Amino acid sequence: MAVMHSWMPVLVLFTSLLAAPVIFLLSEEQHRVRKAVNLGAAVIKLVLVCVMIAGIYLGISYEMRFPVVKGVDFILRADALGVLFAGLSSLLWLLTTIYAIGYLEGSPNRSRFFGFFSLCVTSTLGIAYAGNLFTFILFYELLTLSTYPLVVHRGTQKALAAGRRYLQYTLSGGVLLVAGAVMLHAVAGELSFGDWRYLEGIAAGKEPWLTAVFFLLIAGLGVKAAMVPLHGWLPSAMVAPAPVSALLHAVAVVKAGAFGIVRVVYDVYGMSLSFSMGLLDVLAVMSCITIVYGSARALSQTEIKRRLAFSTVSQVSYIMLGVSIFHPLGAVAGLAHLVHQGLMKITLFFCAGNYAETLGIHFVGELGGTGRRMPITSIAFTAAAFGMIGVPPAVGFISKWYLGTGAAGAAMYWVIPVLAASSVLNAAYFLPLVYRIWFGARDEEWPHEQDIGRLETSAALLWPPVATAVFSVGAGLLAGLPFSPVFWATRIAYEVYLP
């Protein structure tokens, strides 16, 4: 059994890692086999991750470790924080796969797309289960490389430019991250995640170095987490197909950056050291600037996906803000929002994709009358948008609640006006969409209508956003139940604050 436990994380990674070459080797026409491999891998992965979540709940530890060179280990380990991210990614991966199959129906280069898609998820799960910075960086860079082909999938000038920009940003971020990790190794020696007590012990006299390393790591991770001013790649990457946007914004890329920052603060430096060195305050201010800036910029965007992209810039920083609040409730907020933001934002991108794919709508001004033409998609969009604003019972409110009460508990009162302002700004850029969807008039034809599916659009496009919208509302309404994101986040927060 113990052997099984150490192989579990590897097994989870291998489900999609093995799927990738199989899919690459399939020809374009073998779409049935490809569908089966895709969905099979996604389902198996989800089941395995669920088993691990149950196992961790029961106190089983999953770890696989071997030395790469002396002093540097390759560690795959599942802890409560890791499976939170893994659970989110594997659940949303399944839904995104279904969505992508529907979305790319009949378009060229699907084998290439789904192959890299699988690699991308492999690396995300690797990031979730990485047990030290070395392993983390390995998968983090793999993620960069495997998403690039997805971003440029359409092959247009605009897509290639966005892809170039994406690589410029993320590779430079990677360099900073590696530099930080190497410096940390030089200062403190080999550290695996969770060894923060050791670091605390040797920190005396090394504060300047540790501060520099901290900000190198944060800057490196902040590129993917789209912290201002490192966010430039994200809005331009919205030219990618909708399932890729979902992947970038909710499942993998942005989340990997935010998750890395959580790891650095909680498991490398530890809460008390980060707090006593004053690093948290800086992180909190940076997050708040990002929150307000992203919302303010979203206001003036006329393209739906671009507006959503700036909204991501803003919303992902809630995670960092929660982490930087020195209070257990702040930790609950940051960790739960890791899941919450994913659920809401993926719904919005799915819906935006449905509008684009079914009706040819890309701009806010064209949304009039969509509520009548595509009611189910529109309900899902509305639910997620209200969630983003922070209206209960959707999950966005739960995040804001814990952020605000945590900030008050930590005497960081200035965070509260930031949250309120962000709510008002969110309303200011989401409600016009909702208003147009339900009350906007439509006199002319849709820009590019396709008659797909028996209902308003094809089933593969319709049900994933419905599922994620139900999750976004349900996980908030029933936040008190066991295994809700808040429940799990509370468990991790206890580990962080009461070790």
Partner 1 sequence: MTDAAIAAINAPIVFRVLILSAVCWPLVLAAASAGLHFYRLVYGAPSVLLWNRPWFGALWMSAPIPALAAAFAGGDPVVMDWLLMGGIWTTEGMRGILLVFMAVLWTAAGVHAHGYMAQKEAGKGRAGNAAPRRLFRFAALWQASMAGCFLLVVAADIPGFYLGYALMTFSAWMLVIHDGTDAARRGGFAYIVMAVIGEGMILAGFLWGAGIAETILLAEMRDGMSGSGFVLPVSALLWAGFGIKAGIAGLHVWLPMAHPVAPAPASAVLSGAMIKAGMIGWMYTLPIGLAALPALGGVAVSVGLAGAFGAAVYGSMQRNPKVVLAYSSVSQMGMITALFGIGLLDAGLWPALSPVLLLFAVHHGLNKGALFLGTAVTDRPASIPAGVKWIGLLLPAASLAGVFGSGLTVKWAVKSVLYDGGYLLFSFLLTLAAIGTSLLMIRALVLQHRDQRAAHNKITEPAAARVVAGWLACVIAALFLPWWMGMTEPIAAIPPIKELPGIVWPAAAGAAIFLAVSRGIRSAGVLRNAAREEVPRLPEGDLWALYAGVAGRIARAAEKPAAYFEHGLDRINRFGQRASAFAAKLLPMLNRWEPFFRVWAGVLMVLAAGMLLFVLAAFS
The distance of closest approach from Cβ of residue 407 to partner 1 in the complex, given in angstroms and rounded to an integer, is 7
Neighbour tally for 32: CB within 10 Å = 9
Q: What residues numbered 310-339 form the site for partner 1, per CB under 8 A?
A: 329
**Does the protein bind partner 1 through residue 36 (CB under 8 A)?**
no
The distance of closest approach from Cβ of residue 419 to partner 1 in the complex, given in angstroms and rounded to an integer, is 7
Strand extents, DSSP E, 92-156: none
Binding partner 1 (rule: CB under 8 A), the pick from 386, 429, 463, 471 is 386
**Does the protein bind partner 1 through residue 479 (CB under 8 A)?**
yes
Q: Which of these, 498, 209, 460, 180, lies nearest to 328 by C-alpha position? A: 498
Length of the chain equals: 499
Nearest CB to partner 1, comparing residues 212 and 431: 431
Angle, nearest 10°, between helix axes 304-324 and 328-354? 170
Nearest CB to partner 1, comparing residues 70 and 454: 454
110-121 burial code (b ≥16 CB/10 A, e <16)? bbebbbbbbbbb
Binding partner 1 (rule: CB under 8 A), the pick from 4, 54, 202, 424 is 424
Q: Which residues contact 368 (CB under 8 A, 6 or more apart)?
A: 436, 437, 440, 441, 442
Q: What residues numbered 8-27 form the site for partner 1, per CB under 8 A?
A: none
- The SS3 call for residue 231 is coil
**Span interacting with partner 1, options 60-68, 256-264, 426-434, 444-452, rule CB under 8 A:** 426-434
- The SS3 call for residue 486 is helix
Nearest CB to partner 1, comparing residues 58 and 411: 411
Q: What residues numbered 154-173 form the site for partner 1, per CB under 8 A?
A: 168, 172
The distance of closest approach from Cβ of residue 329 to partner 1 in the complex, given in angstroms and rounded to an integer, is 8
Binding partner 1 (rule: CB under 8 A), the pick from 478, 494, 495, 497 is 478
Nearest CB to partner 1, comparing residues 131 and 406: 406
For residue 393, is the peptide bond before it cis, meaning its omega torsion is within 30 degrees of 0? yes
For residue 464, is the peptide bond before it cis, meaning its omega torsion is within 30 degrees of 0? no
Nearest CB to partner 1, comparing residues 193 and 471: 471
Q: What residues numbered 403-422 form the site for partner 1, per CB under 8 A?
A: 403-409, 413, 416-417, 419-421
The distance of closest approach from Cβ of residue 284 to partner 1 in the complex, given in angstroms and rounded to an integer, is 15
The distance of closest approach from Cβ of residue 67 to partner 1 in the complex, given in angstroms and rounded to an integer, is 29
Residue 443 burial by Cβ neighbours in a 10 Å radius (0-12, 13-18, 19+): exposed
Binding partner 1 (rule: CB under 8 A), the pick from 179, 431, 452, 470 is 431
Binding partner 1 (rule: CB under 8 A), the pick from 51, 72, 187, 391 is 391
Nearest CB to partner 1, comparing residues 145 and 391: 391
Looking at residue 367, what DSSP letter applies? Answer: -
Nearest CB to partner 1, comparing residues 207 and 435: 435
C-alpha span between 165 and 162 (Å, rounded):
5
Contact (CB, 8 A) for 263 and 193: yes
With tokens 């808040």, the residue in question is: 486
C-alpha span between 281 and 180 (Å, rounded):
20
**Does the protein bind partner 1 through residue 148 (CB under 8 A)?**
no
Q: What residues numbered 344-383 form the site for partner 1, per CB under 8 A?
A: 372, 375
Binding partner 1 (rule: CB under 8 A), the pick from 140, 166, 269, 397 is 397
C-alpha span between 217 and 207 (Å, rounded):
15
Nearest CB to partner 1, comparing residues 23 and 407: 407
How big is the site for partner 1, counted in residues (CB under 8 A)? 46
C-alpha span between 243 and 248 (Å, rounded):
9
The distance of closest approach from Cβ of residue 357 to partner 1 in the complex, given in angstroms and rounded to an integer, is 19
Looking at residue 363, what DSSP letter applies? Answer: B
With tokens 């026409």, the residue in question is: 29
Nearest CB to partner 1, comparing residues 270 and 476: 476
C-alpha span between 375 and 466 (Å, rounded):
11
Tell me phi and psi for residue 55, to 5 degrees: -60, -45
Binding partner 1 (rule: CB under 8 A), the pick from 249, 263, 400, 436 is 400
Nearest CB to partner 1, comparing residues 261 and 398: 398
Looking at residue 247, what DSSP letter applies? Answer: I
The distance of closest approach from Cβ of residue 256 to partner 1 in the complex, given in angstroms and rounded to an integer, is 22
Contact (CB, 8 A) for 483 and 397: no
Q: Which residues contact 208 (CB under 8 A, 6 or more apart)?
A: none
Nearest CB to partner 1, comparing residues 54 and 420: 420
Q: What residues numbered 239-298 form the site for partner 1, per CB under 8 A?
A: 296-297
Q: Can you give the binding site for partner 1, defined by CB under 8 A?
A: 168, 172, 229, 232, 296-297, 329, 372, 375, 386, 390-393, 397-398, 400-401, 403-409, 413, 416-417, 419-421, 423-424, 427-428, 431, 435, 438-439, 476-481, 486
